Amino acid sequence: MDSSQFRQIQTRRRFFRACAGGLGTIALAHVMADEGRTAEATRIPDPLTPRLSHFAPKAKNVIFLFMEGAPSQVDLFDPKPGLQKWDGHPLPESLTKDLRLAFIKPTAKVMASPRVFKPAGQCGMELSDLLPGLASRADDICLVRSMFTDAFNHHPGQLLLMSGSIQFGRPSMGAWVTYGLGSESRNLPAFVVLSSGRGTSGGASNWSSGFLPSTYQGVTFRSTGDPVLYLSSPNGVSSRTQRSGLDLVRDLNEERLAMTGDVEIASRIASYELAFRMQSSAPELLDFSKESPRTLEMYGVNRKETRPFGTNCLLARRMVERGVRFVQLMHASWDHHSELNKGLKEKCEATDHPAAALIQDLKERGLLDSTLVVWGGEFGRTPMVEIRRPGEPGNEGRDHHPLAFSMWMAGGGIKGGQVVGKTDDIGFNIVEDKVHVHDLQATILHCLGFDHTRLTYRHQGRDFRLTDVAGEVKKKLLA
Amino acid sequence: MTSRITLAAAASLLLSPVRGLPIDFVRDVEPVFRQKCYACHGPAQVMSGLRLDRREAALAGGYSGKVIIPGKSADSKLIQMVSGVKLGAIMPPVGERLTPEQVNALRTWIDEGAVWPAMPEAKSEARSKSSHWAFKPPRRVEPPAVRGRSFVRNPIDAFILAKLEAEGIQFSPEADRYTLIRRLSLDLRGLPPAPEEIAGFVQDNRPDAYERLVDHMLASPHYGEKWARHWLDLARYADSDGYEKDLPRPHAWRYRHWLIEALNRDMPYDEFTIWQIAGDLLPNATVEQKVATGFHRNTLTNREGGIDREQLRVEQAVDRASTVGSVWLGLTVGCAQCHDHKYDPISQKEFYQLFAFFSPAEEIDLDAPLPGEMGPYLKAEPEYRRGRRELLEQYKIAPLQTAWEPKAIEAGRNQGKYGGDWDLAWTVLWNDERQILLKDPAKRTQKEQDKLTDHFLEWYSAVVSREQYKALGFKELREKLQRLAAGFPALSEAQSIADVANPPAAHVLIRGDFRDPGIAVDPGTPAVLPPMVAGKKPNRLDLARWIVSPRNPLTARVAVNRMWQAFFGKGLVSTAGDFGTQGVRPTHPELLDWLATEFERREWSVKSMHKLIVESAAYRQASHTRNELITRDPYNKLVARQTRLRLEAELVRDAALSASALLNPAVGGKSVRPPQPAGMTNLGYGDFVKWKDSDGADRYRRGLYTFFQRTVPYPQLMTFDAPDSNLPCTRRERSTTPLQALNLLNDPGFFETAQAFAARVLRERQGSTADRIEYAFLLALGRIPSGREKDRAAGFFHQQGQIFKQEPDAPAKLFPGRLEGVPAAEMAEWVTFSRALLNLDEFITRE
């Protein structure tokens, strides 16, 4: 099926749903038969109707905590006493041969991490002292210390992580998931993007629908002004006036529908009704007045440092409760080329407790089993130091490192309380259980009930998929 | 049964080397090749340039070079691939891998010298890919005879009608005149017709009234704007670099400016093509020809600090090659950049042959003054120079820069020598800046010197402490310099490209990776297409001429198909960007070929083709759905009616501005930044993206002039499916979403059009509310409302009036100003009514 056929079918279906009322199903079956659709196609009645995955899913929703800029794994997740030994020395040439680095030279000196790592939880997972919140949830998370990727610059790295290719034009993960599963919410978008901190290198390509119909594009919720662009009516337009205007729009559109017979008009009518519903459901979503003080405290909604990220984490939970399929929560930037120590501390203060609260809260509400939470950035950082201003103490940072980095996952389908993968003494290369970003994507789709090789869309004569031509489900991560 | 088992047993015996015996090619090796490799590296397919069914070819290797090195199995790529020593690369990629015994057999065979006895070669069974319909020359057949000759206005109709008649279907009736003029106006000018134009056409009784109208529309300067936008989709035009920093491209608009003018004067498509692909290589190329070649500058630029310049150069050439392939040839050649695809007509090697035309190009910026700019510029120049010189002297720049230059050069030559900050000083120099820096200061042009000094002022910060930089006051100086420049008339500049004198050889890049060059390639065109007639080393200009040569079977077809797509919503080939073997076959192949040959006969006149198409009876049909065809032809492939098409993003904006008479109709010029909600640019990286709302009349310019910032595009454009301009877009989506509804209902910009529309109706039409309702319909929809519509509208006024009685404060908010003689409540009713009209599906639809 190509996009025009897809579109034609969905609008016709929507028309029957919107206009034919109880007859919808019958009329639909009739049209389907006429169109001679295959069984595969009949599973897609409306672009956003909930659909079944290939097999029984563990997770229904995803919250992807995208830590843009690449957090330093050797200071947060992957303790490397070996770095002490190498501290101040360049790496042996055998390691740095053919090495490509963004800013520093292969001869750069190794920098030991100043952080203290301690075992956490029953499982004894070692985590940095910068992550006390996460440490308290250690038994819920699966920490992967053996992630790797192919790109070592931000935008390409983000494209690869989010869309499976460093080339432009591919749908993002959220778009794929929404295409595969549809939406559980009648009043909110299926794929929502939240951000705190700065903007990201990837910008709009991080939530693009690529060649998929634009219905699957992520909808950005904004932190200032209207949460959804143009959500509030103009000054002077009361909800009564809004309704009376929309009634006129609907009636005149229906006149035109009767005149032309164009089912696109039925879609247009339905889209205005959904917009009207969003005008009341989105503010309700943002209204935290019914949340307990304990919940607000847990997410740090009222503390300056944690407010932006904590608010978004709480929003993510509320969205999942309301059927939003894929919440992409971005926090920028972890790109600590300089002032690593200070910068990491700030970032962790802003995000650690809220992220831990999200896991705890989801768990307490029985939502964690059906919600997959993923935390991570587009690559990692070098064990070597980057010095931009030699004269200034505390200026040390780390460069981009695609060969080994860490991410964690929790919830639907994931086996918590374990560490997967191992890197060498200095965290430079992976020595056990390599997980490519395509493998991560395959595993995420698996948790959602998809065989990643079969979730495809035909474009330019080829069946495209999120994992390009690679990807392997990493069973070790799974419950 | 027995014999089959015996055969299988024999086969398995054959596939394992016989212990103790020396390896025998025929017994131990060839069967492995046949069983595991021939499917992709044999007679039917030559993936990655490698054939294993012929001795010479196999020993010669593939794109990455030799794969069999006799005597050295460990160095032989063949062994590396089948044994999977390199992660993520194992052959065969799907299906059963080689058994360890088979790998051993190959290894031993190579170590023993890879003896390959002469033997009968497998017969070539290659399907000739050039038998694909689109690779054969268009065949012009005479328009077929039809029974309904009276319906035929031009040959297009004969082709369409013949097919309809074969199905026993008639054309739909011609659309009414209101619909026709609105359709024509939106299709040719991208703007709704003015009320006077509608009245004039509806009353025009002359037999050629329609044709006159067509000529009138084609002559409009807005024609170039409408059709430039279609082309800008293909050109992946944007006003910023893309990628992380996404810096603005202040001169990008100059290409668009050229494009609008070229379309308005109906530049022939062959010339139009040559200028854009290789205008810079034409003998004595003019500025405008080079500006046109700015087509290639719309590729993205990644300025992330860590980017490898060679990688960027390669990526840009790859993008240029695949864009040209997709825009002119309708082929998805870019798909071949990583590896061969089994069923694709273009091999990876051929892709890199196309790439080789573009790899010698470097980016250049040039002065491209518009008429009237030069005089004032020359007059003011001395004073500007004096001002700039004084400022630089005041801050004592010269000695610091003179000291910085050699050290920056040395840091570039010898990275690591002076430490990270000096390394960075070199890293942040862009390509052209490095070239300037390396030039003898005495030989730099004034412009080059200025550019380098500006860079120095900004980036000296990298090599001194923050306090020192602050103390120097460079930030303040830079602001002063910018203010100074803003006060003087400047020349417009343009982006273009030029070939370097001695370009490095181009290579096949294995898996598309610039670090992994395979065999060297010369510029060349795909084998499935007629060969290029050119000298030994063809260049981009030869490529451009080959593209528009009459022997090229694709160029004209692809172009007329896109025209058809614009006028009917879907091309005769529905995959407008893919005429290759994976594309959809044309619904009307004879018509497509007739149009393609006609295009060449009409000397590539685009306007003439547009005229031909819009004057056809097929185009003039009503777009109403026909019940009897819903099941027979649900996608209207037979063209038994016109199609209702939602307006493109830019035209949605234009229609609202035009109907409300807020539109600034200026044609051409720089990009503008209409207001958007605060905080939009926060989603861009760092604080690189700035959006300062334009002032005054610039706020009301047509959508195609809206500054396109790739990482945070203008929201209304994206909401209505404008392409993201990272890749060429051959066909836009048309979605229907609630975000569109919110945009039209609540965006202050659109609400302003509702207010202005209301004021326009009340100002221009005196009389009863009913009269004014009628006029409002005419302004918004270009037609007279039906009785039911009038009644419904009147009912709305009554209802809204009741609401305002209960909300007495509302009217003043809805229309803060006042219109002489109109009570505030009535005014507010009109605003809300206008808002509804401008939100109708019909308003944003071409019927």
Residues of B in contact with A391 (CB under 8 A): 465
Kindly indicate the confidence band of residue A27, based on its pLDDT and cuts at 50, 70 and 90: very low
Question: Tell me, what amino acid is at A25?
Answer: T
Taking the C-alpha atoms of residue A131 and residue A355, their distance in angstroms, rounded to an integer, is 10
Range among A26-30, A200-204, A396-400 with highest mean pLDDT value: A396-400
* Gyration radius from chain B CA atoms: 33
3-state helix, strand, coil in chain A (%, to 5): 40, 20, 40
Give the ranges where B238-347 is alpha helix by DSSP (H).
253-264, 269-278, 287-292, 309-328
From the list A154, A195, A389, the residue facing B244 with the nearest CB is: A154
Taking the C-alpha atoms of residue B445 and residue B451, their distance in angstroms, rounded to an integer, is 10
**Cβ-based neighbour number of residue B216 at 10 Å:** 16
**Which residues make Cβ contacts (< 8 Å) with residue B242, sequence separation at least 6?**
B300, B301, B302, B710, B711, B725, B726
Taking the C-alpha atoms of residue B348 and residue B46, their distance in angstroms, rounded to an integer, is 10
Q: Which helix (H) or strand (E) holds A439?
A: helix A437-447
Q: Averaged over A48-74, what is the pLDDT? A: 94
Taking the C-alpha atoms of residue B322 and residue B313, their distance in angstroms, rounded to an integer, is 14
Residues of B in contact with A90 (CB under 8 A): none
B:235-264 residues touching chain A, CB 8 A cutoff: 243-244, 246
Q: Which of A249, A396, A436 to mutate to test the interface with B (most CBs of B within 10 A)?
A: A249
From the list B93, B577, B677, the residue facing A460 with the nearest CB is: B577
Taking the C-alpha atoms of residue A10 and residue A212, their distance in angstroms, rounded to an integer, is 13
Q: Give the nearest chain A residue to B832 (CA atoms).
A: A245
Q: Averaged over B334-345, what is the pLDDT? A: 77
Per the listing, tokens 């006028």 go with B567
Q: What is the ipTM of this complex?
A: 0.86
Q: Give the nearest chain A residue to B789 (CA atoms).
A: A252
- Is beta strand B493-499 parallel, antiparallel or unpaired with respect to B361-367? antiparallel
Read off the tokens for B745. Answer: 């209902």
Q: What is the pLDDT of residue B632?
A: 87
Mean per-residue pLDDT of chain A: 87
Q: Hey, are the CB atoms on B306 and A387 less than 8 Å from each other?
A: no
Beta-bridged to residue B845, according to DSSP, are: B646
**pLDDT > 70? residue A34:** no
Give the gap in angstroms from C-alpha A248 to the nearest C-alpha of chain B: 7
pLDDT tens-digit profile of B389-428?
999 999 999 999 999 999 999 988 888 788 778 888 888 8
Helices and strands (H, E) in chain A, number of each type: 15, 17
The CATH number of the structural domain formed by A47-231+291-477 is: 3.40.720.10
Taking the C-alpha atoms of residue B837 and residue B647, their distance in angstroms, rounded to an integer, is 16
**pLDDT > 50? residue A13:** no
Q: What is the pLDDT of residue B87?
A: 55
The phi, psi pair for B110, rounded to 5°, reads -65, -45
Q: Hey, are the CB atoms on A205 and B724 less than 8 Å from each other?
A: yes
Listed residue (B436, B442, B428) closest to B405, CA to CA: B436
From the list B515, B712, B721, the residue facing A204 with the nearest CB is: B712
Listed residue (B50, B405, B685, B602) closest to A335, CA to CA: B685
Residues of A in contact with B341 (CB under 8 A): 462
Tell me the CB-side half-sphere exposure of residue B203, using CA atoms within 13 A: 6
From the list B740, B814, B842, the residue facing A256 with the nearest CB is: B842
pLDDT tens-digit profile of A73-118?
999 999 999 999 999 998 888 777 777 777 787 888 999 999 999 9
pLDDT tens-digit profile of B422-440?
888 888 898 889 999 999 9
Taking the C-alpha atoms of residue B705 and residue A328, their distance in angstroms, rounded to an integer, is 32
Please state, in angstroms and as integers, the Cα–Cα distance from residue B135 to each residue in A294, B41, B327, B547, B654, following that order: 70, 24, 16, 13, 40
Tell me the CB-side half-sphere exposure of residue A129, using CA atoms within 13 A: 6
- Is beta strand A117-120 parallel, antiparallel or unpaired with respect to A371-376? unpaired
Read off the tokens for A44. Answer: 């897609």
**pLDDT > 70? residue B193:** yes
Read off the tokens for B798. Answer: 């009554």
pLDDT tens-digit profile of A337-378?
989 999 999 999 999 999 999 999 999 999 999 999 999 999
Please state, in angstroms and as integers, the Cα–Cα distance from residue B373 to each residue in A444, B254, B261, B369, following that order: 58, 14, 17, 6
B419 touches chain A (CB under 8 A): yes
Residues of B in contact with A225 (CB under 8 A): 677-679
Give the gap in angstroms from C-alpha B244 to the nearest C-alpha of chain A: 4
Q: Hey, are the CB atoms on A389 and B465 less than 8 Å from each other?
A: yes
Question: Tell me, what amino acid is at B718?
Answer: M
Beta-bridged to residue B494, according to DSSP, are: B366
* Domains of chain B, residue spans: 11-120, 149-174+557-644, 307-369+498-547, 374-491, 748-846
% of residues, chain B, pLDDT over 90: 68
| Signed CA dihedral, B484, B490, B492, B494: sign only | negative
pLDDT tens-digit profile of B162-178?
999 999 999 999 999 99
Range among A239-248, B13-22, B67-76 with highest mean pLDDT value: A239-248
B:118-147 residues touching chain A, CB 8 A cutoff: none
Are the C-beta atoms of A145 and A422 separated by less than 8 Å?
Answer: yes
From the list A152, A267, A268, the residue facing B306 with the nearest CB is: A152
Q: Hey, are the CB atoms on B745 and A230 less than 8 Å from each other?
A: yes
Taking the C-alpha atoms of residue B1 and residue B604, their distance in angstroms, rounded to an integer, is 67
Q: Hey, are the CB atoms on A260 and B847 less than 8 Å from each other?
A: yes
Q: What is the pLDDT of residue B841?
A: 97
Residues of A in contact with B835 (CB under 8 A): 245
